[in-house]
Structure 1
Amino acid sequence: MAVNMYNQSTFLVIKIAYMYYIENYSQNEIAKILKISITTVSRLLRKAKEDKIIEFVIRDPYVGCISLEKKLKQIFGLKDVIIAPGVSSEMGEEECLEDDEEVKKLVALEGARYLQRIIKENDVLGITWGSTIYQLINFLNPAQKVDATFVTLHGSIAGFRNELDVRTLVMRMAKAFSGKHYCLFTDALMSSKQVADIIKQERNNHVVFQMFENINISINGTGSLYPELNSILAKPEFMSREELRSLQEQSVVGDIALRFFDKEGKECQTELSDRIISIGFEQFKKIDTKITIASGVYKAYTILSALKGKLIDVLIIDYQLGMEILRLHNELDQSD
């Protein structure tokens, strides 16, 4: 029987693969231990793949995330989609987390890592309030320093938790990156358009409103007002029943940066719009990279509407929410 003198020892291929992938030796260390060259180690690792001695398997729940990401990215023309699987890596089985806060933390972690991948010096980031943004900041690596600028996209929401206030969040995020921060030192909702116009012209606030033009990245959550009134902004602490009714008459479905929009992602025009201290709706749309971070299936219709209105460039969500957005899209598409 003819034997190819250039055939490598199968055992050596197996041993190198085991040392590299299981025992976590570096290629340099393997070369020294086995007294072979680094190029031989690299070549035999490739052979282990080619001969299927080793195979890489991504389990089904995680493959589903990649498939969903591709579909959402293609359908809505997004720059990026990040899907948190909604399973805990510490669980022995692919068990879905039913705790909304745990799912939110998974999404926030993905948001933090994404932000740290894309942020660069001289970026100007607009930030909104919210519990998901709060969690995102908790996951930021304080060792990553970037000379960027962080700006509040709106005023404060009176009567709600201070740690979720947009000013607190912007200061914390700027501190995490060792960047600069600018804040609107005012409540978000004024009693009249006249008062709002005066507040906007105060020196500090005027500077922030001018900076809105320089924002190239926004990071925001989204409030949901359809099919149920889940947004905190729908509570009487923020707006009256009459103001809410006015929005509902225009079929409001959600808000981003305290700007309310309908099922097509268009701004709901009421006198409330003139009284809010926030970046303008059309001005927000011009931001180059608008990142929306959300969790919870109940936000599907709101997110879908924002996608229709081109209010989102990068979507970071959990798997269940993503699947519901896709289902709603397909359902509405078939009914048209």
Structure 2
Amino acid sequence: MAGLGLESDVSTGHLRLLVRVARMYHEQGIRQPAIAAELNISQPRVSRLLREAVRRGIVRTVVVLPKSVHTELEDRLRQRYGLRDVVVVDIPESTHDVLPALASAAADYFDATFAGGDVVGISSWSETLLATVERMQPKTSQVADRVIQLVGGVGSPEAQVHATRLVGRLADLTRARPIFVPSPGVVGNATIRDALLQDSAIRDVMAQWNDLTVVLIGIGSLEPSPLLLSSGNAVGQADQEELRALGAVGDVCLHFFDTAGRLIDSGFGQRVVGIDADTFRAVGRRVGVAGGLRKLSAIRAAVEGGWVNILITDLKVAQRLGE
């Protein structure tokens, strides 16, 4: 018994009773009233003995993680990067496409964490977020007050249609009111952008960005995704070259940053119609959904720079972030 670290003043008889009660309850699955009846003791005493068995180390709880759950890695990333939450998603070895699993995990996370009265911002061009929203279940009661577009449609008019569909769909699912940015996401020059920001409709959306309680965003890399590239809405070659020369590795809502997550001041950034960096960073919950080793540098920079404080990513990326 000494090996259990038990106090020497405990009688052998009491220890024997503790072990017997613990084994009956934990190993044999006998309920407390039946234990009390069999041992001719009261049920409250059975409860006290079970608690004492835990305190004395006779019963030790061990949590066994299923293969698909990675809470230890999630905890490590939370501590390392100062994140509020991390969700690590297993990707089947038979597939190299992380999007379906990421989208399913993100849909589950949003379904569980939206609270009544949330004001939700969503980035307007993200294949991952579109897949996420398509997997979410419609709510039977209102769980969000408003769903607000964070950046205008990027590039062509078709992109604005995509952004409108994404915002509208999420608003329908959460029974919220959709708020759209009535503008392209990127315009020809800073003068046009500044003029647009004086428009009363856009100013109304800008004012509502201050009400956001949670934002849902993708994390982009400097190299555009195949979807964005094929759509004709990717950042132009000249802008890419400028951003690359300035050290850009990724973006959130078209705010490009370097490897340390520092915001890059560029000519491109002065042409974007969307939420400004300070307002974005002031939102309490900033959920980034992104995966794939192609985006590793961008994801690392996004968490290093505090652009996101809740991360949903795949296991391979999470392992690299934890190295």
TM-score bracket relative to the smaller structure: 0.7 to 0.9
| 8 Å CA contact retained: 1:234, 1:244 | no
Aligned counterpart, 1:70: 75
Aligned counterpart, 2:218: 221
Aligned counterpart, 1:132: 128
| Structure 1 residue 58 corresponds to structure 2 residue 55 | no
| 8 Å CA contact retained: 2:160, 2:184 | no
Q: What is the 5 A alignment of 1:20-31? A: none
Match of 2:93 among 74, 92, 97: 97
Aligned counterpart, 2:153: 156
3-state secondary structure, aligned to 2:288: strand
| 8 Å CA contact retained: 1:196, 1:277 | yes
- Offset, 1:234: 6.8
Deviations 1:191-216 (A, max 9, x none): 11122122223232221111111112
**What TM-score results when the alignment is normalised by the length of structure 1?**
0.74
**What TM-score results when the alignment is normalised by the length of structure 2?**
0.76
Match of 2:109 among 106, 114, 126: 114
Query: CA separation of 1:43/1:310 partners in 2, compared to 1, >3 Å: closer, same or farther?
Result: same
Residue 168 of structure 2 aligns with an amino acid whose one-letter code is: M
Deviations 1:271-306 (A, max 9, x none): 111111111122211211111111212211111111
3-state secondary structure, aligned to 2:197: helix
- Offset, 1:161: 6.9
Which deviates more from structure 2 when the two are superposed, residues 300-309 or residues 116-125?
116-125
Deviations 1:61-106 (A, max 9, x none): 346x11111110111111111112x15xxxxxxxx334244x3232
Aligned counterpart, 1:330: none
| 8 Å CA contact retained: 1:82, 1:317 | yes
CA distance in 2, matches of 1:60, 1:113: 18
3-state secondary structure, aligned to 1:252: coil
Query: CA separation of 1:231/1:274 partners in 2, compared to 1, >3 Å: closer, same or farther?
Result: farther
CA distance in 2, matches of 1:109, 1:151: 22
Flag as ranges the 4+ runs of structure 1 deviating above 4 A: 13-20, 38-47, 49-52, 159-164, 228-236
Structure 1, unmatched stretches of 5+, are 21-26, 88-95, 328-336
Aligned counterpart, 2:185: 188
Aligned counterpart, 2:280: 284
Q: Percent identity?
A: 22
Residue 193 of structure 1 aligns with an amino acid whose one-letter code is: A
Deviations 1:232-273 (A, max 9, x none): 667793433222111111011011111111111112211111
Aligned counterpart, 1:204: 201
Residue 264 of structure 2 aligns with an amino acid whose one-letter code is: C
| 8 Å CA contact retained: 2:86, 2:312 | yes
Structure 2, unmatched stretches of 5+, are 1-12, 38-42
Count of residue correspondences: 304
Match of 2:318 among 318, 322, 332: 322
Larger C-alpha radius of gyration, 1 or 2? 2
Aligned counterpart, 1:24: none
What RMSD in Å do the two structures reach over aligned CA positions?
3.8
3-state secondary structure, aligned to 1:61: coil
Aligned counterpart, 1:333: none
- Offset, 1:188: 0.8
Query: CA separation of 1:44/1:149 partners in 2, compared to 1, >3 Å: closer, same or farther?
Result: farther
| 8 Å CA contact retained: 1:224, 1:231 | no
| 8 Å CA contact retained: 2:154, 2:160 | no
